[in-house]
Amino acid sequence: MIDDLGAVVRIDRPVRRVVSLVPSLTEAIAVSRPEVLVAATDWCTHPADLDVERVRGTKNPNVRRIIELAPDLVLCNQEENRRIDVERLRDAGIPVWVTRIETLDASFASLRRLFTEALDGSVPDWLIEAETSWAAPQPGPPRNTVIPIWRNPWMVVGHNTFTGDLAAHLGLRLVHAERAERYPRVSEDELTRDVELVLLPDEPYVFTRSDGPEAFPGLAVALVEGRSLTWYGPSLATARAVLTRQIADSFIA
């Protein structure tokens, strides 16, 4: 098998033991192939009743324990996980499948390959529903938007990101997408320049009605579900409807 980065991954069939080091992929496996998932990270919060062994975080996984678990496959992501951890696992003879997802279309293709090629199964119903829900273009002109992901200092979504591409499919134009960084730091003056709409997700920074909107007086501010905005998995089936409703309900701070 060839993963998203072009690496050869030798996978014994059938795959019975999977360790996921990516929260989005953990949810995807837990919903579609729960019998194979044996371990996940501390950050894997969905499904809410997920009951598997935890192997620390995405950036500091317990490589020794993962090797002891003898998984048939470990799932990683180019952005979320470290190359050194992938290499350590592979050096120990553990097959590692690395995904690369920077656009909505790439997420659909990558997830299809994960389930049909890496796991040798069928395409989940939720993935088909997700592809259908995002197929139609968004009507109307784009709205100049900023999506902060952190505060003190302010950091926002920039170019070549999954979230940025998903926002474009919602008819939003990110005003900081021309910057060199994918997640640039911006000053308070730059933060709202030419902005019509502000999306404040509840992760990784937990923006709330009392923490965030006050920084954007006079602008439309939408508190949105971070999982719908940043996760590629079962949430994609409902993300468009959820985010569209939350944006429509945006209030003047």
Residue 237 neighbours by CB under 8 Å, 6+ apart: 126, 127, 129, 130, 133
Confidence of residue 59 (pLDDT cuts 50, 70, 90): very high
Distance CA 200, CA 68 (A): 40
Classified by CATH at the fold level, domain 143-252 comes out as Rossmann fold (3.40.50)
> Tell me: the pLDDT tens digits for 109-159?
999 999 999 999 999 999 999 999 999 988 888 999 999 999 999 999 999
Give the pLDDT confidence of 76-100 residue by residue, as tens digits: 999 999 999 999 999 999 999 999 9
Is 18-123's fold the same as 143-252's? yes
Q: Can you list the positions of beta strands (E) in 2-137?
A: 18-20, 37-40, 53-54, 73-77, 96-99
Question: Of 124, 105, 126, nearest to 116 (Cα)?
Answer: 124
Topology, domain 18-123? Rossmann fold (3.40.50)
CA atoms within 13 A on the CB side of 183: 13
Domain parsing of the chain, residue ranges: 18-123, 143-252
Mean pLDDT, all residues of the chain? 95
| Number of residues written out for the chain | 253
Task: Quote the CA–CA distance of 83 and 77 in Å, as a whole number.
Answer: 10
**What is the tens place of the pLDDT at every residue in 150-200?**
999 999 999 999 999 999 999 999 999 989 899 999 999 999 999 999 999
